[in-house]
A = this chain, B = another copy of it.
Amino acid sequence: MDLNVVVTEGGGPGTLPVEVVERKGRGHPDTICDALAEEICIRLCRHYQERFGVILHHNVDKLLLCGGSSLPRFGGGDMVEPIGLVLGGRAANEYRGERIPVDELAIGACCEWLSAELPGVERRHVEITSRIRSGSSDLTRLYARGQAGTPLSNDTSCGAGFAPFSDLERVVLEVEQALNCAETKRTQPAIGTDVKVMGIRRGVRIDLTIGCAFVDRFLASIDEYVRAKEFARDIVLEAARRVTRLEVDAVVNAADDVERGDVFLTVTGTSAEAGDDGEVGRGNRTSGLITPYRPMTLEATAGKNPVSHVGKLYNVAAHRIAANLAASSIGAVDASCVLVSGIGRPIDDPQLVDVQVSFRSPRPYAKLYELVEDVVRRELARFASLREALLERKVRLY
């Protein structure tokens, strides 16, 4: 293992004068794509395991959502054209002579997630086309080579992670989750699932710009819309106060022109019904956030196979290494990690492990490198259990 450790001072973007963090919520078109890709992946893994005792090669991290067309109206409007979903990616569709119903499995996984997670979106609002194909012969053979022992990296790519969250990071995540939690959906059904939170911290002050779809049938008028926005803002501020002592202010749907009736009103609670399209991998990183002041990779994690795709595994492992370092006895107040794989190398043998740890008073004097190396080694030995955790949806990916 080629381990590099850099010691820095201060402790992450939370110490900078300015910080910017974004999260695209559950019903945002890009997040829908991430979720569906990952659901397809899990469904395929479960099927492969149950039928063949082994997870076959697949990467279904490509998926296009083409927004539909709708006529929202206070009191309840209509969908005019359905949302289109085009499923891309690769998956083994045959094993030892047995055909695998990849498309049926994929479409089934999508439907289940949609009905469970996007209450306003009905089956008839969505048109799903699967274009999932079997993989290229070389990558499939590379995958097969690693079946016996440690899987071999399917690509030269990198993963990045960090810990702990800054105040702003905690706030942005908490706010989205508060707007999308079951309790809110019950008490404030007008608040849609398509929530985008952009947070800016300037010194000790956080400003949140929330884009939030509202559901037309729960609102009788523009006045009720305005009140619902106020409820939403209250939820936001309360959620923020739970996780920070910094000053927080929030604006919901800043571009609304209430006079003209140009507001963020939807039939289904998501702009996917009309306004916006989506793709896998265009939204939140493994942290659940978009963090320009942190190391990030462009790898979409959702949909990638959890056996050998380092674009998925290394992003999660990098986060865990950072989290373990931040929680360890070395006293780091901030840790970040970049892992780089080498195509064809065992996944537990990265080309490079770069760790950055920040300290406050007083910095450790000795054994720092041994401690860091120990944390890294332990995490790299856990890819099998990480795979299980991924299949049980216990790991955040987006």
| Residues of A near any B CB (own CB < 8 A) | 2, 4, 6-7, 9-12, 14-20, 22, 62-67, 69, 81, 84, 86, 88-90, 131, 133-139, 141-142, 145, 152, 156-158, 160, 166-167, 196, 198, 200-205, 207, 209, 211, 246, 254-255, 257, 260, 262-265, 271, 274-283, 285, 290, 292-293, 295-298, 300, 331, 338, 340, 342-344, 351-352, 354, 359-366
With A133-B81, A360-B10: A18-B352 Cβ-Cβ less than 8 Å? yes
Contact of A292 with B300 in the complex, beta carbons under 8 Å: no
With A136-B271, A136-B275: A200-B366 Cβ-Cβ less than 8 Å? no
Residues on B with C-beta less than 8 A from A67 are 88, 90, 133, 136
Q: How far is the CA of A293 from the CA of B262 in the complex (A)?
A: 40
Residues on B with C-beta less than 8 A from A131 are 66, 84, 86
Contact of B15 with A9 in the complex, beta carbons under 8 Å: yes
Looking at A18, A81, A145, A366, the one whose CB has the most chain B CB atoms below 10 A away is A18
Contact of A362 with B203 in the complex, beta carbons under 8 Å: yes
Residues on B with C-beta less than 8 A from A293 are 295, 338
A54 → chain B closest CB, angstroms: 20
Contact of A276 with B136 in the complex, beta carbons under 8 Å: yes
A80 → chain B closest CB, angstroms: 10
Q: How far is the CA of A40 from the CA of B202 in the complex (A)?
A: 38
A373 → chain B closest CB, angstroms: 14
Q: Lowest 5 CB-CB distances: which A-B pairs, in order? A: A136-B275, A203-B365, A9-B10, A64-B64, A255-B344
Partner pick for A133 among B11, B66, B90, B354, CB 8 A cutoff: B66
Contact of A254 with B343 in the complex, beta carbons under 8 Å: yes
Contact of B204 with A364 in the complex, beta carbons under 8 Å: yes
Q: How far is the CA of A340 from the CA of B254 in the complex (A)?
A: 14
Residues on B with C-beta less than 8 A from A300 are 282
7 A-B Cβ contacts within 8 A?
A4-B18, A15-B361, A18-B354, A20-B354, A62-B65, A63-B64, A290-B298
Contact of B342 with A277 in the complex, beta carbons under 8 Å: no
With A340-B200, A342-B209: A133-B279 Cβ-Cβ less than 8 Å? no
Residues on B with C-beta less than 8 A from A281 are 279, 281-282
Contact of B362 with A246 in the complex, beta carbons under 8 Å: yes
Residues on B with C-beta less than 8 A from A22 are 157-158, 298
Contact of B88 with A203 in the complex, beta carbons under 8 Å: no
Complex: chain B residue closest to A139, CB-CB? B275
Q: How far is the CA of A136 from the CA of B326 in the complex (A)?
A: 44
Contact of B86 with A203 in the complex, beta carbons under 8 Å: no
With A62-B64, A136-B271, A276-B136: A18-B365 Cβ-Cβ less than 8 Å? yes
Q: How far is the CA of A383 from the CA of B90 in the complex (A)?
A: 41
Complex: chain B residue closest to A253, CB-CB? B343
Contact of A344 with B136 in the complex, beta carbons under 8 Å: no
Residues on B with C-beta less than 8 A from A277 are 62, 88-90
Residues on B with C-beta less than 8 A from A280 are 279
Q: How far is the CA of A309 from the CA of B293 in the complex (A)?
A: 22
Q: How far is the CA of A122 from the CA of B295 in the complex (A)?
A: 39
A329 → chain B closest CB, angstroms: 10
Complex: chain B residue closest to A197, CB-CB? B156
